[in-house]
Amino acid sequence: MPEQLMLVALDPDRGRLSGTPAIYVAMAGGVVLILVAGGAAVVRDGELRLHSPMNATALPDTLHEHAVAAVGALPPRDVKDWVRHFAALKFRLGQQAAAALAQRGMLRIERARRFGLVPVQRQRLLNRQAREELLATIRLALAGVAPPSPRMRELLVLVGAAGAVDPLADPPHRRAARQWIDQLTAGVPAAGTIGRAVADVQAEVRAAKRRRAAAASSSSYGGWGG
C-alpha cells in the first residue's frame, strides 16, 4: 500500500511526488495498516502492539523488517505516534518504498543535486501502464461502479486521509467521493482508526507549516514596524 500511494502521487514527467509531506503521512498509515492486516501487530485501546512479528505481510521484506523492529523496540504507543514515526525523515519510508518499486522494475531511482548543492532523489517511472491501471481502478471505486475489494477500501481510506481525492475524482463527483470515503472509514474498524490517525497527523503538519510561514513573515517585517 505505501508503494501504491507512491505511484498515485508520482509525477511521471518530473520524477517527483506531489502532495508532500502529506503523501508520506498517508504512506506511514499504510505501513501501520498492513502490519495489522497481516497479523504482525494489533491495535488495542488505541495503541499499536506487536502480535505475531514473524507473520508475513504485504510490505516489502526490508520495509517489513524495519517496521517490525521499530515497533518491537519501544513500548506500546498511540497509533498517531507510529504514523509520525514511520513518516519521519529518519525512517526513510519514501526511499524504502521507491527501492521496492525499483526492484520490481516499476521505476528507476536517479540521484542528483539541486542547484548543484542539495542531494535529491528522483523516481523515473518505467511502467506507466501499471500506474494508469491503478489510477483507473481507484477512479472506478470512487465512482461506485463496483464494490471495492477489502484492500481497495483500505487504500481509499488512506487516499482520503491524504487529501488526494480531488485529483482522482471528476469535479462533479468529488463531494460524493469524499462522503463515501468517510463512510468507508467509519465502517472498517482498523482502517478507520488508522485513517483518522493519519488525518490528525496531516492536520498537525498543516498547522506547523502555518506557524513556520507566520514566523518567517514576522521575521521579514518585524524590523520595519518596530
pLDDT computed for residue 63 by the predictor: 92
Residue 221 lies inside a defined structural domain of this protein: no
Which pLDDT tens digit goes with each residue over 170-224?
Answer: 788 888 888 888 877 777 667 777 878 887 888 887 887 777 777 766 555 444 4
**Structural domains counted in the chain:** 1
Domain boundaries, position 132: 2-211
Q: What is the Cα gyration radius of the chain?
A: 18
Residue 191 lies inside a defined structural domain of this protein: yes
pLDDT computed for residue 222 by the predictor: 47
Residue 111 lies inside a defined structural domain of this protein: yes
**Helix/strand/coil percentages in the chain, nearest 5:** 65, 15, 25
CATH number at residue 138: 1.10.3630.10
Which pLDDT tens digit goes with each residue over 42-99?
Answer: 888 888 988 888 888 888 899 999 999 999 888 888 989 999 999 998 999 989 999 9
Residue 224 lies inside a defined structural domain of this protein: no
Element (H, E) at 110: strand 107-114
Residue 155 lies inside a defined structural domain of this protein: yes
Does the pTM surpass 0.85? The reply is no
Helix 2-9 / helix 150-161 crossing angle, nearest 10 deg: 50
Residue 103 lies inside a defined structural domain of this protein: yes
Residue 217 lies inside a defined structural domain of this protein: no
3-state secondary structure (DSSP) of residue 145: coil
Q: Report d(CA 214, CA 195) in Å as an integer.
A: 29
Residue 41 lies inside a defined structural domain of this protein: yes
List C-alpha distances in Å: 146 to 96, 140, 153, 180, 212.
Answer: 32, 7, 12, 13, 43
Cell numbers standing for residue 87: 513518516
**HSE, side-chain direction, 13 A CA sphere, residue 25:** 27
Q: Give the mean model confidence (pLDDT) for residues 2-30.
A: 85
Q: Report d(CA 94, CA 6) in Å as an integer.
A: 8
Q: Report d(CA 64, CA 46) in Å as an integer.
A: 21
